[in-house]
Amino acid sequence: MDSRIHRAGWDVRRDGFPDSSRWGGAGDWAGALGLRWIPGFIASVYCAASREVKAGHLQRRRLGSSPPLATLGWMTALRRTRLPTRLSWVIAGVFAGYALARVTGADRLRTIGIPAASLFPFTPQAAASAWLCALLLGDERASAVTAAAAAGLTAVLVPRAAARSQPAASGPELRVLTANLLAGRAATNEVVELVQSTDADVLFVQELSDHAAPWLSASGLDRLLPYAITDLGTHQHRGNGIYARYPIGARPHVMPTSSIQPVVTMKLAGSRVRLACVHLYTPKRPWSNSGVARWRADLAALSLLPFPTTEDDLPLIAAGDFNSTVDHVDFRRLLLRHGLNDAACQTGNGLTPTWGVIPGGRFALLTIDHVLVDDRCAVLGTSVHALSGTDHRAVFARIRLPGMKESRGAQIHVAGEPNPGSRAT
């Protein structure tokens, strides 16, 4: 009997590997890289799936029962088609190391922290991949190790998908929206429409350019949110801005880095609240030592914000593009140290991604945009919204502020008037 099976253009030996003699130089190249198993594995899955689907149709003819879905045939084929043993242990080792480093917070170490800054945000994808690979590995012990790693990664993700009880805040409700405009390339009319549809009281914008600001005004943002303070961006400096329905202080809190500004106080009915617009530096590639160092410096600078320390202090809301996820140990430490909560995690939406490589909100991958509130605030709801022209999704949150006595003497700045506290370039 011929030792090969020919299906869908593949020449596959019965051991699951392709017959490289039919490939010429390509087969030698694949063998040199240790990748000869890939075409054979795909062909084996295809053949097994075809047999499963065909068996279902034969059963329908004999018993008159409905045929199984084709997808069930593929799932059964994947379970019966296993990866080579050596490759199985390599995959199991990778997932086990990833899970161990993530669960123990090993990214606090310098050597691990540099690649982890870029890799740990993909923990949700790593968990899903680990569960899938646990079904495909050819060695039962390797499969068990991978399943244990998947369980560990899932354990750190589950709390973000569960809504939590909120404090009994008695202050006014505040609706906030944050959006990264991708150097001003986002559709400003969609931003204004989103402000109107959500009835937002505050809009935080990042990567606000000198041409995007007047486009927002022309689209009607000044009519909806008449108070504003901006720090416009240039080619070297990407600007931020805060637009508000209620009066905001004319003298912002000075921060040591342009990544955290403006920081202002807003006065609303019976209460005041501090607002901080955040756009931290990205850690970039896993091997970028300088990029990770600057990202960590920006995270450390967040500790200089005017966080509330007593019950009488003003509540703080920090929103924007943090370029960080809850999977970063430095970000988790910041939340814990200053009594902050991620609004999305409070409502069970902490796994909803806000950034992707394709503008328009499609195929979002990472949750790096956040609305952070202090633990006296009650989060009533959160949602994300796609915007054309930017690779970030807008994040919306409804927040109930703690009841406080109204303070006097707040200075205000109306959009379009000179503002000594802002810096426009």
Per-residue pLDDT tens over the stretch 90-138 = 999 999 999 999 999 999 888 888 899 999 999 999 999 999 999 888 7
Over range 200-218, report the average pLDDT: 93
Which residue is associated with the tokens 């087969």?
27
pLDDT of residue 419: 41
pLDDT tier at 358 (50, 70, 90 boundaries)? confident
Classified as helix, coil or strand, 195 is helix
Residue 127 backbone class (left: φ over 0; alpha: ψ -120 to 50; beta: rest): alpha
CB of 17 closer than 8 Å to CB of 36: yes
* Total count of residues recorded for the chain: 425
pLDDT of residue 388: 94
| Amino acid identity for residue 336 in this structure | L
Over range 349-368, report the average pLDDT: 90
Per-residue pLDDT tens over the stretch 41-98 = 555 545 555 555 555 555 555 555 544 545 544 444 555 556 778 888 999 999 999 9
**Does pLDDT of 385 surpass 90?**
yes
Over range 264-273, report the average pLDDT: 90
Half-sphere exposure (CA, 13 Å, Cβ side) for 8? 12
pLDDT of residue 237: 54
3-state secondary structure 125-187: HHHHHHHHHHHHCCCHHHHHHHHHHHHHHHHHHHHHHCECCCCCCCCCEEEEEEEECCCCCCC
Per-residue pLDDT tens over the stretch 164-204 = 999 999 899 999 999 999 989 999 999 999 999 999 999 99
Give 321-351 as a DSSP string.
E-S--TTSHHHHHHHHHTTEEEHHHHBT-TT
pLDDT of residue 380: 96
Q: Whole-model pTM? A: 0.76
